[in-house]
Amino acid sequence: MNGLLSRSISTKQKLIIFYIDSNNKVTERSIRVLQVHDDHILAYCYYRKKVRTFKLDNILSAGLTRKEVSA
């Protein structure tokens, strides 16, 4: 997962993460990673429209977003 997070910084690729929030609730977030640290990442959260800190231990999964196809 760290490779995906680090690679998203250089490519500025938007990611989807499933994250356990402070209330122990699983949330889905669209983010753009800004920095990767030992125990957390700094990312722009499109849901909150702010730069947020996410603990790596609380990220359940991360993946690339799908590109929307219009008809």
Q: Taking 70 as the threshold, does the pLDDT of residue 4 lie above it?
A: yes
What is the reported pLDDT for 70? 60
Tokens of 48: 């909150």
Q: Taking 90 as the threshold, does the pLDDT of residue 71 lie above it?
A: no
Residue 15 in any domain: the answer is yes
Tens of pLDDT, residue by residue over 19-55, are: 998 899 999 999 999 999 999 999 999 999 999 999 9
Q: How does residue 2 score in pLDDT terms, banded at 50, 70 and 90?
A: confident
Residue 71 in any domain: the answer is no
Q: Taking 60 as the threshold, does the pLDDT of residue 69 lie above it?
A: no
- C-alpha pair distances (Å), 41 with each of 21, 24, 33, 45, 58: 14, 19, 7, 11, 11
Number of domains in the chain: 1
Residue 25 in any domain: the answer is yes
d(CA 18, CA 10): 22
For residue 56, give its domain range: 2-64
